[in-house]
Amino acid sequence: MSSAPKKSSSAKDKESGVRSQESAAADSTRLPVPRNRYVIFLAIALLGFAADWMTKEAVFDWLGVHADFVEKSHPENLSRWRGDPSRDHLWWLWKGRLGIQTSINTGALFGMGAGRWWLFASLAVVALIGIPTWLFYFGAAHDRWITVAIGSVTGGILGNLYDRLGLWDSAGLQADFQHGVRDWILFVWPESGMKMFNPWPNFNIADSLLVTGAIMLVVHAFVWREKKEEKEDRSQETGDRKQEAGTRR
């Protein structure tokens, strides 16, 4: 004869309710992802990539690049990449603070890993495989906020991957820069007194999309998600109290 204490009916009912909630949550993750999530994700990713690509093409055709990036053994290379002679590869939107200046980054953030374009390109390809798998196979796209955030990240990945694969017309540049990422947004913050802001390393729309998506994911993890979990906890406590009240009757 077992000496283990018998569970009360209310405890059994509570455990059964928890199991049913867990089962329902698991089932919800297997529900088909709404079609509009595919549209949202693809629209943000493709429009972001298009905006990045078009602005790079327009700015580099207009301002060219500094002679340090150019293969100087052939004079026609310098002529091709000279750009508008009156601009000297720089045009201020807000004098001394925000402008357009062409540059080519052969590394990642702040120029880290310079020259290892193949490594960053490989990581980007892996990400482009993993992202839709997570969103649409494992169901993360049920969350609209995550869909928008990851769409932004994907647009940024595509924009910089295009450059790293050397798909843009880089003829006439030094070999080291032919797989570099084209940057053109210049930001300066002289009042800060910090060297990193004077100037901030040049960036592009793809970088902006990556940062925006990352910030949205952080907000989701520490703000929006916590509120949702608190709401679920309160609803579960309310359900438990109702169940206990029914058992007493």
Residues 6+ apart with CB under 8 A from 182: 56, 59, 60, 102, 103, 104, 163, 168, 204
Please tell me the predicted confidence (pLDDT) of residue 91. Answer: 95
pLDDT band at 71 (very low <50, low <70, confident <90, very high): very high
3 state SS for the chain: CCCCCCCCHHHHHHHHHHHHHHHHHHHHHCCCCCHHHHHHHHHHHHHHHHHHHHHHHHHHHHHCCCHHHECCCCHHHHHHCCCCCCCCCEEEEECCCEEEEEEEECCCHHHCCCCCHHHHHHHHHHHHHHHHHHHHHCCHHHCHHHHHHHHHHHHHHHHHHHHHCCCCCCCCECHHHCCCEEEEEEECCHHHCCHHHCCEEEECHHHHHHHHHHHHHHHHHHHHHHHHHHHHHHHHHHHHHHHHHHHHC
* Residue 231 pLDDT > 80: no
* Residue 119 pLDDT > 70: yes
Pairing label, strands 98-105, 181-187 = antiparallel
145-155: average pLDDT? 97
* Residue 241 pLDDT > 50: yes
Q: What's the burial of 206, exposed, middle or buried (CB within 10 Å: 0-12/13-18/19+)?
A: buried
> What CA–CA distance (Å, rounded) separates 81 from 214?
34
User: 2-16, 162-176, 181-195, 211-225: lowest mean pLDDT where?
Assistant: 2-16
- Calculate what percentage of the chain has a pLDDT beyond 90: 63
CA distances from 10 to 13, 21, 78 (A): 5, 16, 83
Phi/psi of residue 86, each to 5°? -80, -10
* Residue 143 pLDDT > 70: yes
* Residue 26 pLDDT > 60: no
Both tokens assigned to 113: 């890993």
Please tell me the predicted confidence (pLDDT) of residue 97. Answer: 93
pLDDT tens-digit readout, 162-208? 999 999 999 999 999 999 999 999 999 888 888 877 888 999 999 99
pLDDT band at 5 (very low <50, low <70, confident <90, very high): low
> What CA–CA distance (Å, rounded) separates 125 from 135?
16
Q: Which residues are catalytic?
A: 183, 207
* Residue 24 pLDDT > 50: no
Q: Which residue has the tokens 């540059």?
A: 103
